[in-house]
Structure 1
Amino acid sequence: MHRRTLAGLVGTVTGLTMAATTGCGSTAAAPADDGARSEKGHGAVEGAEEVGEPQLHLTTIDADGAVAQLDLVEGSSAKVGTIGAPSAVESDGRYLFATTAAGVEVVDSGVWTWDHGDHFHYYRGEPTLLGAIDGEGEARVATGPLSTAGSTGIFFRDSGEAVLLDNEALADGEARELFRLDAEPHDGLVAPFADGALVTVADGGEVTALSYRDADGDAVGEQIPCVEASGTITTRVGVVVGCADGAVLATETDGKADFERIAYPEGTTAPRATAFEGRKSRPTVAALSGKTGIWLLDTRERTWTHLDTGTPLRQVVAADDEDGHVLALDTTGRVRVYSAEGGKQLAATAPLVDPGDGGVDLVVDQERAYLNAPDEGVVHEIDYADRARIARTLETPTAPVFFTETGR
């Protein structure tokens, strides 16, 4: 297997810089037309068909592990197979990574988008189950921007094992580990970055820093301070990891890695961000701040914005579209739409779900939001730009205890 290397990283990793230094010269971590990312023909995989539009599906997993898909364009549905009973599910828009008694089981939806920066390629293949990544206890999964290149990180909290999966191998149907590292048990993460990953470093179970590891698992450069690291996401600009005092933003330019600290605004007393959500491959992401607040992190401008909604919230997602929509699921089961400019509420639905139900999730794409109601066996499709109108209520072939939109 060919792997692109981050040539000359040793000695080129810069120190942490403060958020005020915008215009740092870093380029986006989003997909670009380089040799490593074109090996698969811009996302092409043998046996898959390139098509002219995104193949959007809802992929669902019920409480017993039955996996199924609903085609959002054609309306057809199909059962994929059965995995172990899941306790958590993460997705990159193609694969679903389900934590089960077997470890992390991988579901390939068979539909994906290759983001080429200024245009996209869309593919459709057969959905399949790719087996399990061995591990014990709760798993934290972090994904990258592309499903046929780069990697996926898994951290098993109970054992302290840090695993990096090869996405190119996943695309060929093989769950191949690039590295597996042993550390002390802690609430950690493995955030895919460049040819390797940022892995949490703990002392006595408390996270103190991040270590950049190459594709072989070897430490490269100095550790990056990040006390109480929690939450990671890949944006159009780079890889974000939340820290007690703000966030670390990792970017790569011409084979050089740069780690910047984006500190919270001076004097803020708002609770920190511990998890980030946003529309895939956009620069701005959202995070809950306490019970009623929202943090918006603009990784392009290296700035934080705090919104106080006055409403108890359960989940927030940044659409980061032209109108700056921020979506939230509140504790009464309503989906609320806010403006990123000032936090004004623009619209709200009636109560749609019991937000106490396990697995209730809000997923956002360029035009729609999706909210699952597991007890009813449906997913609500919401046009958030049109007064949060319920566009469709979709019956899924298995109860959507866990779900995501795939083909993105």
Structure 2
Amino acid sequence: MSFSRSARRATTAGVAALSLLALTACASTEAGESSLSASPSASDDHDDHAHEAAQATEATAATPRIVLTYDGGLVVLDANSLETEATLELPGFNRISSVGDGRHVAVSTTGGWAIVDAGTWTQAHGDHAHHFTSEPALHEVILEAEEPGHVVPHDGLTAFFDDGTGQITVVETSEWADMVEHEHLHPIREYTTAEAHHGVAVATESGELLVTIGDADGRTGAMLLDEDDAVIASSEECPGVHGETAFTGASGEAYFVTGCEDGALVFHGEHVHKVAAPDAFGRIGNAFAVEGSDVVLTDYKTDPEGGIGLTQVTLLDVASESLTVIDAFPGADAQYTWRGLARGADGEALVLGTDGALRVLDPATGDVVRAIDVIDGWEIPEEWQTAHPALTVLAGMAYVTEPATGEVHIVDYAGGEVWKSVEVGVEMNEMVGVTG
């Protein structure tokens, strides 16, 4: 299999400024000694990318794009028009994750992580910025892994977790364009867990590293390390640890949250606290936070033998260390999967149900503020890999996929209406947005 190694000449994209889609401001082995390098000045950065800009089309504003997977490849769409910008072939079941720079997307594929350049970016230059688009490109594996797993961008850093080896690799998010251009990763921190497992890591600019604890037989907890890999806080009271979110709460304090089969772990400062679920088995596997809010939206499963279809969510308040279980579909016969959860720009809790409606929940009370009919009703698949509707939020709008019809829908979740629908022509599976 071969991928293009450089961006190809751009075709002009439709970049009409749309007010509805205006961008918002945007026991272990020792880790190698390293430190964060200083960021280049705006002027230096502008010079470094002069050649790249010359090969691109300049736009009047940032151009968000959507990256979708399907069986056999990826599709890149303009987020405003939903026009297809590129179709990139890649055999197999591929998973995608944002790397956090608003342009590139990591693809978990055979041999490690490949990179999609979505072909949209903003270049700062003194007191202003330039916006560019180019034709999207798929680049070959840039970080090898036995079992490429979670990719977590946070605090200007991107952390990769290899489930097959327990190897954690951290790079600076701002370096992605340079690393892709030169086809070489520049790790600033590496760490290997005591035992390989399906885990996750989160790095901070101040040198902290959140790492899950587990082995081939199971996962038991998580620990927060300092820049020298010394343990700041640790807990193994988290069976089946899965999922993470890291954010700054209302008080300005930094938090890390991981899910457990009986609640969640909350790390803050030098402390870790267990927030217990009200049920003996109350699994949290995915968590969604927004900056400046103490409330985390999570999925919630009470039947250990059940499938991936769920009916309840939780609102986890990290400040009060309380967890409230909410019926996501009061008065309706519907379910959701982890692909149907997201947070709105103002912290709204969004849930996409099998009845085809997108529900907007008040994150303070859990009340359903509105339900918007978006797609036809659908059924929960038996296997999680099977294509089924997905939800993401980008530039103040919700994006919903409908694999059965090959359509993508843009939803104004604040106004309560479907804004645009376009048939893409593939049975899409996963979805990631980039801001440009």
User: What is the TM-score with the length of structure 1 in the denominator?
Assistant: 0.72
What is the alpha-carbon distance in structure 1 between the residues aligned to residue 273 and residue 363 of structure 2? Answer: 19
Map of 1:23 onto structure 2: none
Corresponding position: 1:108 with 2:117: yes
The one of 239, 243, 247 equivalent to 2:265 is 247
Q: Aligned letter for 1:326?
A: A
Q: List alignment gaps of at least 5 residues for structure 2.
A: 1-24, 27-35, 302-309
Matches within 5 A, 1:249-398: 249-250=267-268, 258-261=269-272, 263-264=274-275, 271-278=282-289, 284-290=295-301, 291-298=310-317, 304-309=323-328, 310=330, 311-315=334-338, 317-322=341-346, 325-345=348-368, 346-349=370-373, 351-352=375-376, 354=378, 355-356=380-381, 357-358=386-387, 360-387=389-416, 389-396=417-424
Contact 1:80 1:128 in 2 (8 A): no
What is the alpha-carbon distance in structure 2 between the residues aligned to residue 341 and residue 401 of structure 1? Answer: 31
Q: Aligned letter for 1:317?
A: L
Distance 1:302 1:95, change over 3 A: farther
Q: Cα offset for 1:299? A: 5.3
Q: Cα offset for 1:318? A: 4.6
Q: Aligned letter for 1:108?
A: D
Report Cα offsets for 1:5-54 as digits up to 9, x if no partner. xxxxxxxxxxxxxxxxxxxxxxxxx99xxx97753639867135886633
What is the alpha-carbon distance in structure 2 between the residues aligned to residue 103 and residue 87 of structure 1? Answer: 11
Q: Aligned letter for 1:334?
A: A
Count of paired positions: 356
Map of 1:64 onto structure 2: 72
Q: Cα offset for 1:267? A: 6.1
Q: Aligned letter for 1:167?
A: T
Q: Cα offset for 1:275? A: 0.9
What is the alpha-carbon distance in structure 2 between the residues aligned to residue 266 and residue 288 of structure 1? Answer: 12
Distance 1:239 1:102, change over 3 A: farther
What is the alpha-carbon distance in structure 2 between the residues aligned to residue 111 and residue 262 of structure 1? Answer: 41
Distance 1:191 1:363, change over 3 A: same
Report Cα offsets for 1:121-151 as digits up to 9, x if no partner. 6743433334212222361222225xxxx33
Contact 1:285 1:317 in 2 (8 A): no
Map of 2:29 onto structure 1: none
What is the alpha-carbon distance in structure 2 between the residues aligned to residue 337 and residue 331 of structure 1? Answer: 15
- Between 94-103 and 218-227, report the one with greater CA deviation: 218-227
Contact 1:335 1:349 in 2 (8 A): yes
Corresponding position: 1:131 with 2:140: yes
- Between 275-284 and 327-336, report the one with greater CA deviation: 275-284
What is the alpha-carbon distance in structure 2 between the residues aligned to residue 78 and residue 268 of structure 1? Answer: 47
Distance 1:321 1:234, change over 3 A: same
What is the alpha-carbon distance in structure 1 between the residues aligned to residue 128 and residue 277 of structure 2? Answer: 40
What is the alpha-carbon distance in structure 1 between the residues aligned to residue 424 and residue 38 of structure 2? Answer: 34
Q: Aligned letter for 2:140?
A: G
Corresponding position: 1:39 with 2:40: yes
Contact 2:387 2:427 in 1 (8 A): no
Q: Equivalent residue of 1:231, what SS? A: strand
Corresponding position: 1:400 with 2:407: no
What is the alpha-carbon distance in structure 2 between the residues aligned to residue 63 and residue 157 of structure 1? Answer: 23
Report Cα offsets for 1:325-345 as digits up to 9, x if no partner. 321122344322222243222
Contact 1:142 1:152 in 2 (8 A): yes
Distance 1:270 1:339, change over 3 A: farther
Structure with the greater alpha carbon radius of gyration: 2
Q: Equivalent residue of 1:170, what SS? A: helix
Report Cα offsets for 1:180-219 as digits up to 9, x if no partner. 52642222112122246322233664333324264xxx51
Report Cα offsets for 1:331-386 as digits up to 9, x if no partner. 34432222224322221315436353425321023531111123422211111122
Matches within 5 A, 1:184-199: 184-194=195-205, 195=207, 197-199=209-211
What is the alpha-carbon distance in structure 2 between the residues aligned to residue 38 and residue 74 of structure 1? Answer: 34
Corresponding position: 1:142 with 2:152: yes
Q: Equivalent residue of 2:242, what SS? A: coil
Q: Aligned letter for 2:351?
A: A
The one of 169, 177, 192 equivalent to 1:171 is 177
Contact 1:136 1:156 in 2 (8 A): yes
Q: Aligned letter for 1:242?
A: T
Contact 2:387 2:428 in 1 (8 A): no
Q: List alignment gaps of at least 5 residues for structure 1.
A: 1-29, 251-257
Q: Cα offset for 1:319? A: 2.8
Q: Equivalent residue of 1:184, what SS? A: coil
Q: Aligned letter for 1:144?
A: H
